[in-house]
Chains A and B, each alone.
Chain A
Amino acid sequence: MKAFREIFAMQFVALVRSKALALLLAAASAWMLLVPRLVADDGTADGAHQVFVRYSLGGVFALLAACLGAAAAGSISSDRALRRLQLTLVRPVRHSVVALGRIAALTAAGALVMSVAAGIALLRTDPSRPCYGVLSPVMESPREEAERMYEVYMADPHTPENVKRAKKSAVVKLLTQKAVDHYQTVSTNETARWTFPAVPAGSSESVAVRLRFTTLFNTREDVVGDFSFGDMRASVSNITQAVVTIPLKGGPAPDGASELVFANRGENALMLRPRRDITLLCREKGDVFAYGLLLAVVVDVCVLAAIVSLSMFLGAGLGKSVAVFAVMAVLFMTSVSSTIVEQYPYELETNRKDQIGLVLTRFMEQATSPVGSFNPVDALAEDRRVSAGELVRAVALDLLALPLLLSLLAGLVMSRKTMD
């Protein structure tokens, strides 16, 4: 523990005295102050809030991920190149502790910068703005839906021949990807029903429906109709906003799992992806923007710890420039892989070269999904707070398990790596 403290302190002091931390703080503060001037919103108060939160805190997180990732990748590798590392490794300290202490120091620096950015965000927004927990419809898993749809899909005359010749596992995988984005159409004067889990007891008086029409091309749809959820009712008529929040009124939420019913009274059919586009927002006592921001920052710091750990591991085994390049490549792939997979989901319908690219991209998305699948800042921008499960997962996986595992591996690599 003492060795850990010493290594942590040494790395943190180095960050402070090299002015790296001061530069990060200055850059993050400047970004937080400049974003409202640089990015145009849709002119509404909600739109301005969304744009500010998403781009300001998101930008600071991206800055920290890149800078701390590079610093972690260079931490051990440059110490090894400058031969400082051997002076530490000959001491009675576990090599994994050397990596872990540095990971902790860089994560602490990230936490400090994120906290300052969050402080500025609080000054520029309304801290008491409502924030919500989110419930998604209870549905069969995309895999179950794919298994169910397999025979239907293969019997469909429109299914491409190369897909019909493919192995069942490959087609089921493809259908699983399709199922995530499975669209449901609610025609004019038709009714749709989605079952939701029980609303938390503390928020049964404050429930809202959220419709999110963020499609690939950010088009917006008009929606006119009536919602009911137990005794709760609400009407909606919206043709402007991509994200619509409709408060339900008229009584407490039903006990236990219950159906949300939507009757389409508009002139157009409504198309939405139930797994993605419709949620119930539940507001408990104390659910305000400030609290949501705190949770989002905690999750972001956890994700930073995971990025720093991976970078430290790469830096333990590779030279500085190769390690930094590898980290940047991983970060880039993590940030774009989900978009690529979303836009080009059907690898069996493409040529061989694209199939290989998609397989690699999908592997990258899967491999990094524990870290990159959830963006708490984007959620916060839409007034969604981090759930208890998401928080526990981030702390357990990104802040504890990954750094411990990767520092152990980094220690092993350090022991094996030739000290020239």
Chain B
Amino acid sequence: MQEKREVIIELKGVEKTFRDFWLRPTVKAVDGLDLSVVKGEVFGLLGPNGSGKSTTIKMVLGLLEPSAGCISLFGLPPRSIAARAKIGYLPELSYLHPFLTARETLRYYAGLCSLDRRTAAERTRQLLEMVGLSDVADRAVGGFSKGMARRVALASALVGKPELLVLDEPTSGLDPVSTNEVKTLVKTLSKGGMTVLMTSHLLGDAEDVCDRVAILNHGKSVAEGRIGEIGTSLEEFFLAKVGEGRSFEVAPFLK
């Protein structure tokens, strides 16, 4: 069945090597990554710190150029305007303009997505209501708590009605109730046909939401599969793939 679904994201042999000022290679963050995400799927990109998740996401978003290999979004280069028109992005931290209010923030991003004034206003109202910020819509986001700012960022990711939602640690900084709300939202959006690519350190969250996951380690995909087919808990699976034998050497410190 999966073969018949439209491929939204495709990475073939993607590599990313960061270089210093003199163009000498410093670190290979992604190493020969092959990946495909199909329409309507919630795909989790998991891995320990420094495994290349964020670099992969930035390449998918067109913020970084791969050193080798190719990436396509909707069959288009990630930097094309047409591809970017279909993407919503929630970064790991909510990088908002502190002088804008929540309403202005959403209208700003709606404007960048070329929504007309009336549609932008209506979409803004709906999203502020959805993330529970209608009461503080006209307060500058610079004064918001981390959780509130996260909600604004999530709403702004959705304001252009994207076909692909890229979420970098979507539940980071949220309380348990809000975390649950976000997870429910992701599942609802997915059921509505939206494709979601997300990273998470919280394996429980990924297990609850994702249809399929890939585990990255040292820039390579070490495992990939559907959640239901792993046969064990995601945490055990994850540790088996990237964490086996790793622990802090505490004894010398205690002597």
A→B interface (CB under 8 Å): 2-3, 5-7, 9-10, 13-14, 17-18, 82-84, 86-94, 415-416, 418-419
Contact = CB atoms under 8 A, between A and B. Distances in A.
Interface stretch (B3-11, B41-49, B61-69, B180-188): B61-69
Contacts of B174: none
A4 to B, nearest CB: 10
Contact of A90 (B18, B65, B84): B84
Nearest to A91: B112
A10 B160 contact: no
Contact of A84 (B58, B95, B112, B113): B95
A17 B84 CA distance: 30
Nearest to B111: A6
A83 B99 contact: no
Interface centre among B89, B109, B112 (most CB of A within 10 A): B112
Interface centre among A5, A10, A17, A93 (most CB of B within 10 A): A10
B100 interface: yes
Nearest to A418: B64
B114 interface: yes
B108 interface: yes
5 contacts: A84-B97, A86-B63, A87-B153, A90-B89, A91-B160
Contacts of B63: 86, 89-90, 419
B234 interface: no
A18 B99 contact: yes
Contacts of A18: 99
Given A2-B111, A87-B89, A419 B95 contact: no
Given A10-B97, A418-B18, A87 B64 contact: no
B220 to A, nearest CB: 21
A93 B95 contact: no
Contact of A87 (B111, B114, B156): B156
B93 A83 contact: yes
Nearest to A5: B111
B61 A86 contact: yes
B87 A90 contact: yes
Contacts of B62: 89-90
Contacts of B64: 418-419
Nearest to B65: A416
A90 B62 CA distance: 7
Contacts of B153: 87
For the complex of A and B, 8 pairs with smallest distance between CB atoms: A6-B111, A92-B85, A17-B99, A91-B112, A419-B63, A84-B95, A92-B84, A83-B95
B99 A92 contact: no
Interface in B146-173: 153, 156, 160
Contacts of B70: none
Contacts of B203: none
A6 to B, nearest CB: 3
Given A13-B99, A93-B112, A418-B18, 19 more contacts: A2-B111, A6-B107, A6-B112, A9-B108, A10-B97, A10-B104, A17-B99, A82-B95, A83-B95, A84-B97, A86-B58, A86-B89, A86-B91, A90-B63, A90-B84, A90-B89, A91-B84, A416-B65, A419-B64
A350 B67 CA distance: 50
A17 B140 contact: yes
Contacts of A3: 111-112, 114
B177 interface: no
B97 A14 contact: yes
A89 B95 CA distance: 13
A102 to B, nearest CB: 12
B254 interface: no
B95 A10 contact: no
Contacts of B251: none
Nearest to B93: A83
Nearest to B54: A420
A374 to B, nearest CB: 36
Nearest to B166: A90
Contacts of A94: 81
B235 to A, nearest CB: 30
A270 B153 CA distance: 73
Contacts of B61: 86, 90
A5 B114 CA distance: 11
A7 B140 CA distance: 17
A82 B62 CA distance: 18
A419 B112 contact: no
A308 B212 CA distance: 48
Nearest to A419: B63
Contacts of A415: 79
A18 B98 CA distance: 9
A104 to B, nearest CB: 15
B96 interface: yes
Contacts of A88: 112
B104 A13 contact: yes
Interface centre among B61, B62, B65, B111 (most CB of A within 10 A): B111
Contacts of A7: 112
Nearest to A3: B112
Contacts of A10: 97, 100, 104, 108
Contacts of B113: 91-92
B59 to A, nearest CB: 10
Contacts of A2: 111, 114
Interface centre among B107, B114, B140 (most CB of A within 10 A): B114
Contacts of B87: 90
A111 to B, nearest CB: 21
B109 A87 contact: yes
